[in-house]
Amino acid sequence: MLTHYTPQGPDEARRGVGPLIPPLSDTQRPLRQQVFERVRAAGLIPRVQVAKDLGVSPASVTTITSELLDSGLIEEVAAPPRDGETVRGRPAVALGVRASAHRVVGVKISDRGETAVIVDFAGNLIAEDSIPRRYGPMTVPELLTVIETLLDRVCAKAGLTRADLSGIGMGLPGFIDNAEGLVLWTPLLDTRNVPLPALTSQRVGLPVWVDNDTNLVAMAELWFGAGRGLSDFAVVTIEHGVGMGFVMNHRIYRGAQRVGLELGHTKVQLDGALCRCGQRGCLEAYVADYALAREATTALNWGHKEGQNMTVLLESLYDHAKAGNATARSIFRRAGRYLAVGLSNVVNLFDPALIILSGERMRYDYLYAAETLAEMDNLMVNTGRPRPPIEIHAWGVRMWAHGAAALALAAISESQLSPGREIAAQ
C-alpha cells in the first residue's frame, strides 16, 4: 500500500503533541514525567483520565499535577462541553501544557539555505524565516554568523528577544553525535569534529542541541505527524543526500555511538560511484540530487558545473521524463531500483510498522513508481506477510525545522522534570 499524506500544520492549538505512548507501557519513567507527557500528548485532559491512563490513584495525579501547576509547566483550562451536553454549575476543568512556559527555536541547515521556526512549549508555531545560502561548504565562523543572523531575524518576526527563548535545536546532514554535541562530518562545513552546540551557545547565549537532520524529520513525525501513535517506524529522506531516521519504542534510535542508521552510506555497489562522503558505492551516490545530475550530464550530454542551480537541472530532467524521453526516464528508473534495494534492506533489518518517504525529491514519482515497489517486494525476505505500508509526505523545510524545535522541547522537558537539573519556566 502506498499512501500520499499531507499532515495538518503543527500549530493547531490544543491538539496535543509528542508521542502517544499506550497506557501502562512506559512505567520505567518517573511518574512526574509520565503525567506531564500524558497531558502534553492529549492537548487537554481531565485529571481523572490521566489517573486512568497511567493506572495510578487519582490522589497521586492530584499531587503531581499540583507541583506541575506550581512550576508553571501546565495550566487548568475549562473543558469544552461535549456535543449536546448542557453544563450546569461549575464547568469541568482539564489540564493542558502552559504554552508560554518556554519558547524554543528550531533550525534546519541545508545545502540550499537555512530555515528557523519559533514554537511555544505546547508546540504551536509563533514565527518562521528562511535565508538562502551559497552552494558549497562553509567555515565554522561563517556558519555561526548565518545562525546568529537567522536567529535575530526570526526573533524580530516574533516580536521576541533572545532572553525570551529557552534554547535552540539544530539539524544538519552528516554524522552527528547528539549526546556529545559533535558534528563529526557534514558536507556543509570544511572541517570535521566541530563542537557546534557549544560554539553556537557561546555566540548567542542560549542552550543548543544538535542532531542529524533526518533524525529530526523522524522527530517531527513522532511529535506532530503520522508517527505519534506508532512505536516503531522509519523515515527515509531524499534530497541532496539520502537519510534515515528510525523510531524504536517511541524514541529516536541512534545507535551505540549515536551515528547509526546512515542508510545513504550503505553500500549497494562495490567499487561503484563516488559518494560525497569520499567512499564508493553508497546508496546516496545513485539516488541523491547530485547522482541524478551526474547521470543527466553524462547520458544527455547536459552541461552542469559545480555551483550551478541543481534544482533547475533536475526539474528539466523530470520534465523530459514526463514528456517521454527514454533516457531521462531510465535515469529515474535506475535510481528507483537502487532505492528499492535500500528500502528492502530497511524492512529486512527492522520490520517497521510504517515507512515514510519524505523530502523534496518525493515529487519525482518515478522514484516510488509501481515498478520500484514491485522490485522492493522481490528483494524482501518472503515471510508470507505483506510489507509495511509506505507513505509519501509532502512536508517542506519548515517541518524539518519543527523537528529541530521538538529536539529542544524534549531536552527542556527532561531538564524540567529531572531533579536537580531544572530550567525555570518563563
pLDDT in tens, 337-391: 999 999 999 999 999 999 999 887 777 887 778 888 889 999 999 888 888 999 9
In this structure, the strands spanning 390-393 and 2-5 are: parallel
Higher pLDDT, 21 or 102: 102
Q: What is the pLDDT of residue 24?
A: 59
In this predicted structure, the answer to whether residue 151 has a pLDDT above a threshold of 80 is yes
172, 206, 258 from 114: Cα distances, Å: 10, 19, 24
**pLDDT confidence band for 21 (50 / 70 / 90):** confident
Phi-psi region of 89 (alpha: psi -120 to 50; beta: other; left: phi over 0): left
Q: Which residues contact 182 (CB under 8 A, 6 or more apart)?
A: 176, 193, 194, 195, 196
* Residues 214-248 pLDDT 10s: 999 999 999 998 899 999 999 999 888 899 999 99
**pLDDT confidence band for 9 (50 / 70 / 90):** very low
Least Cα distance to 169 among 107, 103, 100 occurs for 107
Q: What is the pLDDT of residue 256?
A: 86
Virtual CA dihedral for 185, 189, 192, 198, nearest 10 degrees? -100
The CA-CA-CA angle for residues 210, 214, 216, to 5°, reads 50
The CA-CA-CA angle for residues 94, 99, 101, to 5°, reads 110
Cα first-last separation, the chain? 46
Report the distance separating Cα 147 and Cα 157, nearest Å.
Answer: 15
* Residues 104-144 pLDDT 10s: 999 999 887 899 999 999 999 999 999 988 778 999 999 99
85, 221, 263, 274, 340 from 279: Cα distances, Å: 65, 31, 14, 6, 21
Virtual CA dihedral for 78, 84, 90, 93, nearest 10 degrees? -30
Partnered with residue 76 across adjacent β-strands are 95
Virtual CA dihedral for 56, 61, 62, 65, nearest 10 degrees? 180
Partnered with residue 177 across adjacent β-strands are 182
CB-CB contact of 337 with 366 (8 Å): no
CB-CB contact of 227 with 221 (8 Å): yes
280 three-state secondary structure = strand
Report the distance separating Cα 260 and Cα 244, nearest Å.
Answer: 9
Report the distance separating Cα 288 and Cα 111, nearest Å.
Answer: 13
**pTM summary value:** 0.87
- DSSP secondary-structure letter at 264? G
